[in-house]
Amino acid sequence: MSRSIFVQLALWALTLRIVGAAKGNLRQFTVFSDPIFLRRGEVHNRYVLPTKLPDEIVRMFANKTMHLKSADLDIVLVNNKTGEKLSAPLYITYNHHHALLLGPSEDLMKLYNYSKDKDPLDPRGFPNQTHKHHHHRGCAMKRASFEAILAEALPESRRHGISVFGGASGAEYRGTPTRLAGDYTYDVKSPESFMVLMHFINTHGVPRDQKLWECPCTSRSKINVTNGTIDGRKPLRFQCSQQLLDEGNTGCSLATYQGGYRCCEHGVFLTEELPGPDAPVDQIEAKFTFEYYELDSPETKVARPTMQPSCCDATAGYLVNTSYFANIEYDVPQCAAGVPYDHCVHVIESIEYFDAGSNQDPNEEFELVHAWGHQHVAGIGLELFRVSTGELLCRSHPKYGTGVQAGDEDGFVVGIPPCVWGPPPLSPPPRIRRSEHLRTVARYNASERHHGVMSLWLLTAASLKPNTARVEYLV
């Protein structure tokens, strides 16, 4: 039996064991976001209004901690005549990335009001005022960046009640298991409401060769290199690694920019032709299903809370403090003619601190318990190494669909199997200090050109510090 098959069987057996051991203590609930409405080729890149969680959940966990084992996402298309909700394939609604916030209703509303009408990845910037200094802090993709936003939007006493899922997670999330093994849990304090960032693209009926998931800049995109603006607004600041700059990567400069997040702002149409006033409008919702332990069940007594370290973005380069953002995205240049398909691979690397910029003890040690690498179409995989020893910690490979059903869309990334650590038969979790350096190696197939790709790790870790209870950021 091959090692990969053995590992899959072991994970399956462990899942059965976890559910069986719960003896009915593992529950589920499902919520739907407020709807968004998109026409063909249109982009939604905003948080939607906070929505209250089910009343029984709010009552059960008032002034208590909810211990989650998993959080799953589906995107549904709503029939606005019958109300029927069906899973939307990626060729109808593409999930570029998303984030889910859980917390007190009042605090989420304050965050919503603070961030609305701003770029969600840079709400501290001034997208409509090009004369002001443009900050580059980021939001949902890195915990330290999100904490900087909380510091401005909420008083200090209210900042620790917000928990976040996702951020650097997109089309693959629907088919990527988020369940934690053993005693590890995602903990949420006094949950009342949830709020969703949806960076979704309406790809309904658009020919595949237009690659709307790569956010092409269209002939309507007003790129002004002199003013540093796209459509009159300052985009996220370019901050590529030296490796990408040396290769003249076209995703690193406004002068050469042809597609990606910076041409994918809220309300933009990515098709060359604009839909007419009578064009169909799709009603779309995000559906989240949570697994949680029943209040005061035996599992909650031994639960280990988790957090998300700030590492890692392959565009960051070497030995830089990336508590905020590097460039986030880059372009994959096409291989030279005649290069065999199997050898046509574009590779970049970065070295970063495990958890930089957190104002915490740099020698605090964590157990790495869950990891996967977010990539776009044409991604081959990510590798994560401990620099001090050269140890391979995780190798992540995207899974591609072969059919037409939601979750198996031909040619799309439909899941990224995670590395999972825990009790036997799983491998024990690697122990990593905050100040340790990790190296990321990202690979894309380069048989054709790709714009705006990403190579980001989603890591979940549990502190080994005694009596650790604070949840900083969830995957």
DSSP label at 418?
P
- CB 383 within 8 Å of CB 455: no
Q: What is the mean pLDDT of residues 179-190?
A: 94
Listed range (17-26, 73-82, 112-121) with the worst mean pLDDT: 17-26
Token pair in block for residue 143: 């915990």
Kindly report the pTM of this predicted structure. 0.89
Examine the pLDDT at 138 and tell me if it is beyond 60: no
Q: Which of 144-148, 278-282, 388-392 has the lowest mean pLDDT?
A: 144-148
Per-residue confidence at 115, pLDDT binned at 50, 70, 90?
Answer: confident
Name the amino acid, one letter, at 441: V
The domain locations on the chain are 22-463
**Contact (CB, 8 A) for 288 and 194:** yes
pLDDT, position 466: 76
* Phi, psi for 7 (deg, rounded to 5): -65, -40
| pLDDT, tens only, 408-425 | 999 999 999 999 999 999
Q: What percent of the chain lies above the pLDDT cut of 70?
A: 85
Mean of the pLDDT values across residues 128-143?
A: 44
Q: Is 248 left (phi over 0), alpha (psi -120 to 50) or beta?
A: left
Place of tokens 């996220």: 236
> Is the CB of residue 341 less than 8 Å from the CB of residue 446?
no
- Mean pLDDT (whole number) for 258-279: 95
Q: Name the band, by pLDDT with cuts 50, 70 and 90, for residue 372.
A: very high
Q: What are phi and psi of 232, to 5 degrees?
A: 80, 5
Instruction: Answer yes or no: is pLDDT of 353 > 80.
Output: yes
Q: How confident is the model at residue 124 (pLDDT cuts 50, 70, 90)?
A: low
Pick the residue with more confidence: 23 or 328? 328
Cα separations (Å) of 227 from 202, 223, 251, 254, 307? 30, 9, 18, 10, 40
Parallel, antiparallel, or unpaired for β 345-353 and 437-445? antiparallel
Q: pLDDT tier at 314 (50, 70, 90 boundaries)?
A: very high
Please give the Cα distance from 260 to 456 (Å, whole number): 15
> Phi then psi for 40, rounded to 5 degrees?
-55, 125
Per-residue pLDDT reduced to its tens digit, 30-84? 999 999 999 999 999 999 999 999 999 999 999 999 999 999 999 999 998 899 9
- Cβ partners under 8 Å of residue 4, min gap 6: none
Q: Phi and psi for 89 in degrees, rounded to 5?
A: -65, 160
Residue 130 has pLDDT above 70, yes or no: no
- Average of per-residue pLDDT across 289-301: 94
Q: What angle separates helix 105-115 from helix 143-153, to the nearest 10 degrees?
A: 100
Q: Quote the CA–CA distance of 454 and 332 in Å, as a whole number.
A: 10
Residue 406 has pLDDT above 90, yes or no: yes
340: pLDDT confidence band, cut at 50, 70 and 90? Answer: confident
Give pLDDT, residue 312: 92
Residue type, 471: V
324: confidence class by pLDDT, cuts 50, 70, 90: low
Q: How far apart (Å, rounded) are the C-alpha atoms in residues 73 and 352? A: 29
Q: What span, in angstroms and rounded, lies between the C-alpha atoms of 105 and 286?
A: 19
pLDDT of the residue at 310: 87
Q: Where on the phi/psi map is residue 352: left (φ > 0), alpha (ψ -120 to 50), or beta?
A: beta
Query: Residues 441, 355: contact at Cβ < 8 Å?
Result: no
Mark 67-98 as b/e (b = at least 16 C-beta within 10 Å): bbbbbbbbbbbbeeeeeebeebbbbbbbbbbb
In the predicted structure, residue 21 carries a pLDDT above the cut 60:
no
The H or E element that residue 126 is part of is none
Burial of 267 (0-12, 13-18, 19+ CB in 10 A): exposed
Element (H, E) at 374: strand 365-375
H/E segment holding residue 18? helix 3-22
Start-end of H helices in 222-311: 242-246, 298-301
The neighbouring-strand residues paired with 12 are none
Q: Is the peptide bond before 417 cis (omega within 30 degrees of 0)?
A: no
* 429 upstream amide cis, omega within 30 of 0: no
Alpha carbons 37 and 366: distance in angstroms, whole number: 42
The whole-number average pLDDT for the span 347-367 is 89
Q: Is the pLDDT of residue 17 over 70?
A: no
Q: What is the pLDDT of residue 116?
A: 83
pLDDT bucket at 473, cuts 50 / 70 / 90: very low
